[in-house]
Amino acid sequence: MGHRLERLQAQLADQRGGRVVLLSHCLLNQNVRYLGGAERPGGVQEVVDDYLTGGVGIYQLPCPEQRAWGGVLKRRMLVAYGSAGTVRAPATRLFLGAFLRYTRFVYARLARSVAKDILDYRRSGCEVVAVVGIAGSPSCGVHTTLDLPGAVDVLTRCPMAQLDRRTLNEDVVAAHTGPGEGMFMRALRRRFDAVGAAVPFEEHDLLRDRQIPPPPPTPDRPQ
Ligand code: SF4
């Protein structure tokens, strides 16, 4: 098979560059971000453009929270939103440990599936140039992550009437972001180590991209 494959590859040589990057799902599709956390309507164009212009193919990683937390809107996590003063608040805090154990179980399964694909790319002669995670994510952070128990604690003490995008992104997310590795990136890195696939990990900071709306026009000053 080896000789035949080499012959076919030589006879059918085409434009493929033989390099691929693994991008976190939301770099290509912001619709899976937590409510209040999407920074773009679609994806992060400049990241995608950089790789494609450089002749690197893109493998879109699964969104692990979509898989483990109840779909695109992560409905299992939404239970905690605006739960202050309801029975959902103490229940969320009580079951968080079990929820995180389940999350790690799902992430380990996803990581095995991604690692299989990576081995296939390498066997097929492709170089996997990097894994790009998302700064500050409890799942996809590489150098920075979210203290999920701390964030959930604040979230479950915030009444529905006070929950807005600023409160969520500053008091809940930014206030609990620090050095560390997200659960899915850790599972991926361990799986890659186990199968001997050395791939560099880096992270993209979506907040750095934040498009701040222009300030409202100031009324003309009287002359
Ligand atoms: S950071 Fe990871 S878990 Fe969060 S939306 Fe992006 S792909 Fe999904």
Segment 45-55, tens digit of pLDDT: 999 999 999 99
What percent of the chain has pLDDT above 90?
Answer: 91
How far apart, in whole angstroms, are the C-alpha atoms of residue 99 and residue 1?
47
6's CB contacts (< 8 A; 6+ apart) are none
H-only helix segments in 30-87 = 45-53, 64-68, 75-78
Tokens of 181: 């590795």
How far apart, in whole angstroms, are the C-alpha atoms of residue 107 and residue 185?
9
pLDDT score, position 223: 39
pTM: 0.92
Determine which residue's CA is closest to atom 3 belonging to ligand 1.
65
Q: Which atom of ligand 1 is nearest to the CA of 33?
A: 5
What tens digit of pLDDT does each residue of 136-157 get? 999 999 999 999 999 999 999 9
Q: What is the CB < 6 Å shell around ligand 1?
A: 24-26, 32-33, 63-65, 134, 137, 139-140
pLDDT score, position 202: 97
Ligand 1 midpoint to CA 133 (Å): 8
Ligand 1 midpoint to CA 27 (Å): 9
